[in-house]
Amino acid sequence: MSADKPIAEIGETPLVPAHVTAAYISDAVSGVTEQAAPIGWWIIFGTALLGLGILGVSVGYLFWNGIGSWGNDSPVAWAWDITNFVWWIGIGHAGTLISAVLFLFRQKWRTSVNRFAEAMTIFAVMCALLYPTIHVGRVWVLYWALPLPNQMAMWPNFKSPLLWDVFAVSTYFTVSLLFWYVGLLPDFATLRDRSKSLLRKKVYGAFALGWRGSNRHWRNYERAYLILAALSTPLVLSVHSVVSFDFATSVMPGWHTTIFPPYFVAGAVFSGFAMVSTLMIISRQVFNLKDLMTMKHLELMNKIMLVTGSLVGYAYSMEFFIAWYSGNAYERYVFINRATGPYWWAYWTMVTCNVLVPQVFWFKKFRTSIPVMFAVSILINIGMWFERFVIIVTSLHRDYLPSAWGMFSPTIVDVGCYVGSFGLFFTLFSLFIRWMPMIAMFEVKAALPGAQPSHHAHADDHADAAHAAHAEPAPAE
């Protein structure tokens, strides 16, 4: 297994500079939670709280007046709310991809990024869950979506993709939270052991569950991590597939296509990596963690964005081809209307941001330039929002009979509900980076050069059959 060899042997350069040791990692990462917050953090947190306030006011207004205060109309019954839902849940995909899929592929560079991305996943899914919740209109009967006995003696319709979504998204949230916590456990122990004040010791100690780094524990711990990664990998693919079923199983032109599940998953990974990149660039600057989140990490992420951006571009062109090839007049019209109709500007914003802009990452000069990658990551997120807007609004606003056509324009409440979700996200995220280890300390330590025993040759001293049977170490990072 190449993963167990010293990285020099497989022709790779170390992930972190030479002066980074296990002690350096504990100090640098835990230090963020132990020292006074830098001014940059207060700026982000303050702005985020303002956004959270906007969300509170918007949602409160919405609950009081009903969802008629959104711009949704007939025929555009799904608009910004579902656009925002799909956008946020897509962003949430990068976390699990980085922590689970890259773990199974033994990509050790993930260790600097995964904690961060997992936190982002959880907060993004929380933002996403907000929209279907408020879109049902009568939030007080939201529990009808669950298979609970009720006064009508009815059960949910399990043939509805919307119900699949309830199960998929809530499972995804729960499993992501568990995965995140399991990863945090040894790092909480580090924070507990470094604590100077009794309060910190008690709080971090409570979360650390009495972790004592026992190898008898690591054995089960690593197996649990491996199994969770193996379970999360199909899960993450299923979640956005199920989200795409919300559209694909309907008979709307522009939605009723088999390409949707893979197309949505690729887009989700694409936007998720862009968001991780945005957050990483800010955090490593604010907290001075450039030795742990290095240019190499950012460059690798940019490569993934280039790949997934190109996949998304392929999906756009394939959709057009199939619309023509299908010979279906309605299907053809939807796509011509997307590119040249009243929402042409949304379509071309999407193509520019998602397909054209990431192509700059073919060039190493741009791939390793902080300003360029920051701008690109923001543009990708804008582009991915427009992708969902285009899919939802341009399909709905002109479907079959021209007499039923209409237009959508957002209201201030729409804007407030969207802008406010950034407030929720960044409030949670700034609290996370302030109080929790934002880099998986024990995983980075385990991946350092020299962190693992240099050879297993000494096994011949006392090799017997029982021990030899277990000579292959458990997959670890």
Partner 1 sequence: MTDDNKQKRPVVLLAEFDSPDSIIHAAEKVRDAGFEKWDVHTPYPVHGMDAAMGLTDSRLGWIVLLCGLTGVTAAVTMMQWMNGYDYPLVIAGKPPDAIPSMVPIMFELTVLLASFGAVFGMFGLNELPKHHHPVFGSDRFEAFSHDKFFVSIEVEDKKYDAEKTRALLTDAHATYVELVEEEVA
CB 96 within 8 A of CB 270: no
Give the integer Cα–Cα distance in Å for 238 and 255: 18
Residue 247 interacting with partner 1 (CB under 8 A): no
Considering beta carbons, is residue 290 or 458 the nearer one to partner 1? Answer: 458
Any alpha helices (H) in 398-440, and if so which ranges? Answer: 412-435
Residue 21 interacting with partner 1 (CB under 8 A): yes
Residue 77 tokens read as 């019954």
Provide the minimum distance between the beta carbon of 246 and partner 1 in the complex, in angstroms, as a whole number.
11
**Positions in 113-152 near partner 1 (CB under 8 A):** 147
Binding-site member from 193, 344, 375, 382 for partner 1 (CB under 8 A): 193
Residue 298 tokens read as 């950012």
**Positions in 391-420 near partner 1 (CB under 8 A):** none
Provide the minimum distance between the beta carbon of 17 and partner 1 in the complex, in angstroms, as a whole number.
17
Residue 35 interacting with partner 1 (CB under 8 A): no
Provide the minimum distance between the beta carbon of 265 and partner 1 in the complex, in angstroms, as a whole number.
15
3-state secondary structure at position 241: helix
**Positions in 205-244 near partner 1 (CB under 8 A):** 205, 209-224, 227-228, 231-232, 234-235, 238, 242
The span of 99-107, 256-264, 362-370, 469-477 binding partner 1 (CB under 8 A) equals 469-477
Considering beta carbons, is residue 387 or 477 the nearer one to partner 1? Answer: 477
**Positions in 145-174 near partner 1 (CB under 8 A):** 147, 153-161, 163-164, 167-168, 171, 174
Residue 74 interacting with partner 1 (CB under 8 A): no
Considering beta carbons, is residue 143 or 158 the nearer one to partner 1? Answer: 158
Give the integer Cα–Cα distance in Å for 318 and 258: 11
Provide the minimum distance between the beta carbon of 468 and partner 1 in the complex, in angstroms, as a whole number.
8
C-alpha distances in Å from residue 412, one per residue of 138, 390, 418: 21, 20, 10
Residue 458 interacting with partner 1 (CB under 8 A): yes
Total residues interacting with partner 1, rule: CB under 8 A = 80
Residue 369: alpha-carbon gap to chain centroid: 23
Q: Is the dihedral of CA 389, 391, 395, 396 positive or negative?
A: negative
Residue 28 interacting with partner 1 (CB under 8 A): no
Residue 443 interacting with partner 1 (CB under 8 A): yes
The span of 112-120, 308-316, 400-408, 454-462 binding partner 1 (CB under 8 A) equals 454-462
Residue 466 interacting with partner 1 (CB under 8 A): yes
Considering beta carbons, is residue 234 or 406 the nearer one to partner 1? Answer: 234
Listed in sequence order, the residues at least 6 apart from 472 whose beta carbon sits closer than 8 Å to its beta carbon are none
CB 156 within 8 A of CB 95: no
Considering beta carbons, is residue 131 or 245 the nearer one to partner 1? Answer: 245
The span of 133-141, 190-198, 319-327, 329-337 binding partner 1 (CB under 8 A) equals 190-198
Any alpha helices (H) in 327-343, and if so which ranges? Answer: 329-340
Binding-site member from 116, 123, 245, 361 for partner 1 (CB under 8 A): 245
DSSP secondary structure letter of residue 469: T
Token look-up 């201030």 returns 412
The span of 19-27, 291-299, 377-385, 391-399 binding partner 1 (CB under 8 A) equals 19-27
Provide the minimum distance between the beta carbon of 454 and partner 1 in the complex, in angstroms, as a whole number.
6
Residue 372 tokens read as 């360029």
CB 62 within 8 A of CB 413: yes
Q: Is the dihedral of CA 442, 447, 448, 451 positive or negative?
A: positive
CB 269 within 8 A of CB 94: yes
Residue 372 interacting with partner 1 (CB under 8 A): no
Token look-up 């995964």 returns 114
Residue 181 interacting with partner 1 (CB under 8 A): yes
The span of 45-53, 388-396, 412-420, 459-467 binding partner 1 (CB under 8 A) equals 459-467
Residue 189 interacting with partner 1 (CB under 8 A): yes
Axis-axis angle for helices 260-286, 295-326 (nearest 10): 160
Give the integer Cα–Cα distance in Å for 420 and 59: 9
Considering beta carbons, is residue 186 or 309 the nearer one to partner 1? Answer: 186
Considering beta carbons, is residue 154 or 401 the nearer one to partner 1? Answer: 154
Residue 234 has φ and ψ, to the nearest 5°, of -65, -30
Give the integer Cα–Cα distance in Å for 234 and 97: 10
Residue 178 interacting with partner 1 (CB under 8 A): yes
Count CB atoms within 10 A of the CB of residue 18. Answer: 7
Considering beta carbons, is residue 26 or 283 the nearer one to partner 1? Answer: 26
Provide the minimum distance between the beta carbon of 212 and partner 1 in the complex, in angstroms, as a whole number.
6
Give the integer Cα–Cα distance in Å for 70 and 83: 13
Residue 75: cis peptide before it, omega within 30 degrees of 0? yes
Listed in sequence order, the residues at least 6 apart from 264 whose beta carbon sits closer than 8 Å to its beta carbon are 86, 90, 240, 241, 243, 244
Provide the minimum distance between the beta carbon of 451 and partner 1 in the complex, in angstroms, as a whole number.
6
Considering beta carbons, is residue 47 or 160 the nearer one to partner 1? Answer: 160
Residue 462 interacting with partner 1 (CB under 8 A): yes
